[in-house]
Homo-oligomer: A and B are copies of this chain.
Amino acid sequence: MSLESNVKTARDSFITLQTLSVKDRDEALNIIVEELLSKKDTILKANAEDMDSAKKQNEAGKLSSSMLKRLDLSTSGKYESMVQGVSDVKNLEDPLGRVTYGCRLDDNLDLYRVSCPVGVLLVIFEARPEVIINITALAIKSGNAVVLKGGTESTKSFAAMSQVVRSALSKTKVPQGAVQLVQNREEVAQLLQFDRYIDLVIPRGSDKLVRYIKENTKIPVLGHADGLCSMYLHDDADKDLAINVVFDAKTDYPAGCNAVETLLVHENALSTQLPFIAEKLSQASVVLKCDSRSYEVLEKTPSVAKLLQHSTENDYDTEFLDYTLAVKTVSSLEEAMAHINTHGSKHTDCILTSSESTANKFMSGIDASGVYWNASTRFADGFRYGFGTEVGISTNKIHARGPMGLEGLTIYKYQLRGRGHVASAYGVGPSKIPFKHEPLDVYHISEVNKLEN
């Protein structure tokens, strides 16, 4: 089958998938869970073969150890938690059919804005084979078809899982073609040209991958290349609170996109608060890249001095993803906000202050998907936000922003239900009918069908 016919099949399958009830979609997820449990040995065997090749690549210095770790499905509990993930998605509320706007235009002429799937998703990912199952579950639950494109390192795991998913779907109402798995590395460039069939690209991998995709397609891309999160320490912040929050945001998981990378310090807090924060960070050996004013203050603190470096301008545009923090002195809230709006990546930024009005100024004036007051930037995550699942985190400024749950995979359509109404009869003027425009209070479109039956 050619790549184009793969993608076209996904599109055709979407047309059917979008009409299925949530019962049918959930049933498909149940059967996938059963098949995954019964075919565990086959999948782990295929994964072990991928691991053998990857280990050789790693020894030859061609594949990183972290990539190796991500590829491994045999770690304790990893397979089970992948399967559990499918059940968790199944148990989420149906994201489709929700009415987000209802308006009676006139008697028997009712308009409903109803949530529906986006269409065909292209998900491009690296190494982690469990993404296949994770994304398949999210796509089916939200009524989207999906074309999955994995990296070469997981070829065999990929083939085995793909076999299991296809076999499971053949027993359900979800068309088998709704999940397309394509393998060759060189196909990415070609896939990105299929804007006729594909509605949305979701990259799950390195910054490099995301940037490549954004630069090489006309299809909308949801995701983020950078996560340059900042914290601003105002001069009235509670000291102990600031120590704990900065420490968590930097050290809980420095490789995360929601870890803090830049700390802006009000000049009045330089000697009263910063040394205590730095001392706490030194317990995790965090390197501090300081501007001259903060350096001057901190070099007097013995436990910190050896971790100090002079910052360069470039440090304030760098996502370290490591135990490193850039520190800069500012003389006002406004200066801090201007710095973040210029150097940040619109991901998640936080202010530490005891004043609600100062916090409100910050939260309205920072242009980012997350604006936090006295809480760690590490909370920027779909599970923590209560979405039950996470499709990804977007730093885009349209459609979905920040952590995306299933809702990020939906759009809406307007249903208009009339009884032969014509537009020329309405408007302003003597012989024209005025619109009623009365709100209709409906939560789910299925209620409408019941009402009218």
A residues with a Cβ closer than 8 A to B are 14-15, 18-19, 103, 105, 109, 111, 118-119, 199-200, 214-215, 218, 220, 222, 238, 240-242, 244-245, 247-249, 252, 337-338, 341, 356, 359-361, 363-365, 367-376, 378-381, 384-386, 396-403, 411-424, 426, 435, 437, 449, 452-453
Q: A369-B414, A386-B437 are in contact. List 7 more A-B contacts (CB 8 A).
A: A19-B365, A244-B420, A244-B422, A373-B416, A374-B417, A374-B418, A374-B421
| The residue from B369, B381, B413 contacting A401, defined by CB atoms under 8 A apart | B413
Closest residue of B by beta carbon distance from A426: B384
Copies in the complex: 2
Q: Which of B19, B241, B435 contacts A386 (CB 8 A)?
A: B435
List of 4 A-B pairs having minimum Cβ-Cβ separation, nearest first = A375-B418, A241-B420, A378-B423, A248-B422
Residue in contact with A379 in the complex, picked from B105, B214, B359, B449, CB distance below 8 Å: B105
Q: Which residue of chain B is the closest to A259 with respect to CB atoms?
A: B423
Of B218, B238, B341, B371, which contacts A414 at CB under 8 A? B371
| A424 / chain B contacts, CB cutoff of 8 Å | 248, 252, 376, 378
A385-B103 contact, Cβ under 8 Å, with A398-B199, A423-B376: yes
Please measure, in the bound complex, the distance between the C-alpha atom of A15 and the C-alpha atom of B449, giving whole angstroms.
Answer: 46
Q: How far is the CB of A178 from chain B (nearest CB, A)?
A: 14
Check B15–A341 contact: CB distance below 8 A. Answer: yes
Chain B residues, CB < 8 A from A19: 361, 364-365
Q: Are B199 and A375 in contact (CB under 8 A)?
A: no
Which B residues are in CB contact (< 8 Å) with A200?
Answer: 397-398
Quick check: B248 and A374 within 8 Å, CB to CB? no
A217 (CB) vs chain B CBs: closest residue: B218
| 5 contacting pairs across A/B (C-beta < 8 A) | A15-B367, A241-B420, A249-B422, A356-B453, A398-B398
A435–B385 Cα distance when bound, in Å, is 9
Would you call B422 and A385 a contact (CB within 8 A)? Answer: no
| A245–B422 touching, CB < 8 Å | yes
Please report the C-alpha to C-alpha distance between residue A374 and residue B420 in the assembled complex, in whole angstroms.
Answer: 5
The CA of A157 and the CA of B14, in the complex, are separated in Å by 49
Q: Which of B238, B381, B418 sits near A373, CB closer than 8 Å?
A: B418
Are B341 and A422 in contact (CB-based, < 8 A)? no
* A111 / chain B contacts, CB cutoff of 8 Å: 385-386
Contacts of A14 in B (CB 8 A): 367
Partner of A18, one of B248, B367, B376, B385: B367
User: Is B413 a contact partner of A118 (Cβ separation < 8 A)?
Assistant: no
Which of A244, A356, A378, A379 counts the most chain B CB atoms within 10 A? A379
CB-defined contacts of A381 to chain B, threshold 8 Å? 423
Would you call A401 and B397 a contact (CB within 8 A)? Answer: no
Residues in B whose Cβ lies below 8 Å from that of A365: 15, 18-19
Closest to A200 in B: B398
Are the C-beta atoms of A364 and B18 separated by less than 8 Å? yes
Q: Is the CB of A414 within 8 A of B398?
A: no
Taken together as a complex, chains A and B put the C-alpha atoms of A226 and B368 apart, in Å, by 34
Residues of B within 8 A of A363 (CB): 413, 415
Q: How far is the CB of A387 from chain B (nearest CB, A)?
A: 9
A428 CA / B76 CA spacing, docked (Å)? 16
